Amino acid sequence: MSDLARRDFGKAGLAAAAAMAVPAAAKKLEPLSPGIKISMQVGENVTPEELKWIQQMGVDYLNVQTGKGKGTYENFAAIKRRVEAAGLKLWNISNNDNRNIEEVTLNLPGRDAKIEWLKQYIRDTGKAGIGYITYAHMANGIWSSERETTRGGAAARAFNMNTAKGFWNGKVYESPLTHGRKYSKEELWENYTYFIKQIAPVCEEAGVRFGIHPDDPPVPELGGIPRHMFGTFDGYMKALEIANSPNIGVCLCCGTWMEGGKSTGKDVYGAVREFAKIGKLWKIHFRNVTQPIPYFVETYIDNGYTDMYKLMKTLVEVDFRGNLIADHVPEMQGGGNNGWSYSMGYIRALYDAARKELKKG
């Protein structure tokens, strides 16, 4: 047993989780096919013209976002049929209610009901023949400041430690204390353990990979709540060991990881290599930022402080077979899909160049 496994993961949380009923036998987790699945993010009301545009860019996969009340098997199956009828493939369906659940992260009233809802979401995902969902474990949302500009005056998200607020699902979270008091690292580990010990068996039963997104931004503490689990490499490793499941892994938002800089404990290239080495790297958010915290602005993928060609080569070197999306794309003059077209074309070019240089694919 590793040193991480010997740590005290929160006796109270483990005891409570151990008492939970275990679902039916797990499905064998099918290996991912070779190659990176470059994907476009769309809403479920994506138009036929937009679907054609996506095909014209040479993109084969979609990540679809649904609205409130749409996290049902019937809707998942309908979305999948529509995507496949357009000649595309569906990687996952997201819903703002299935992540950043403060009741779960902080053990607030309603926690068990939220967990049961997410279990059904996972079961419905698997039943619809969709093998992956993204989850995030932030208690007080994604923190940002007023939007600023990046190259050419393009509007983009910014973060300044002195002015940022948290936002998620229509709620705003402000310093100094977003939930009335400070929370300890120990109680957050207990809450996570209680949660993941129930979720992991359901993922195994449904045959669904559950990729956990980093805390955005990965600041040590925001609004009195530590961000020590999914804001650092060591935190991730401990969380994965607690889960102890082949179905619990990583959605590595590279932009978020870059935001953390040295505070994450491993640069983005090293994080890719380590998560891939243990077979837990399933999705990549491929984006760039100007510099690490305490202040950054999101920017075009070729305009930040990280060498994105080096990052793409790293993904090819480790034989990454999961899903890769552009994300948080700054606006581009002319509106519409100009910024997304630029990002997706750039990503495809990097991937082709990396495979050619490394003589893979």
pLDDT (tens digit, 9 = 90+) per residue, 20-73?
A: 444 467 788 889 999 999 999 999 999 999 999 999 999 999 999 999 999 999
Average pLDDT, the chain: 93
- C-alpha–C-alpha distance, residues 221 and 203, integer Å: 30
Contact indicator for 242, 193 with CB cutoff of 8 Å: yes
In the structure encoding, which two tokens stand for residue 278, read together? Answer: 């243990």
Contact indicator for 327, 255 with CB cutoff of 8 Å: yes
In the predicted structure, residue 272 carries a pLDDT above the cut 60: yes
- With pLDDT > 70 as the criterion, what percentage of the chain qualifies? 93
Task: Say how many C-beta atoms besides its own lie within 10 A of residue 147's C-beta.
Answer: 13
pLDDT at position 360: 83
pLDDT at position 1: 41
pLDDT at position 120: 98
Full-model pTM = 0.92
The vertex-66 CA angle with 62 and 68, nearest 5°, equals 170
**Strand-strand pairing, 61-65 and 37-43:** parallel
Strand order in the sheet with 142-150: 171-173, 165-168, 142-150, 154-160, 295-299, 288-289
CA neighbor of 227 nearest in space, from 161, 279, 290, 277: 161
* Residue range 174-187, pLDDT digits in tens: 999 999 999 999 99
- Mean pLDDT, range 311-340, rounded to an integer: 95
CATH superfamily, region 3-20+45-355: Divalent-metal-dependent TIM barrel enzymes (3.20.20.150)
* Residue range 342-357, pLDDT digits in tens: 999 999 999 999 999 9
In the structure encoding, which two tokens stand for residue 9, read together? Answer: 């993961």
* Residue range 79-103, pLDDT digits in tens: 999 999 999 999 999 999 999 999 9
- List C-alpha distances in Å: 78 to 40, 47, 67, 179, 323: 18, 15, 14, 38, 21
Residue 336: pLDDT band with limits 50, 70, 90: confident
CA neighbor of 93 nearest in space, from 63, 136, 70: 63
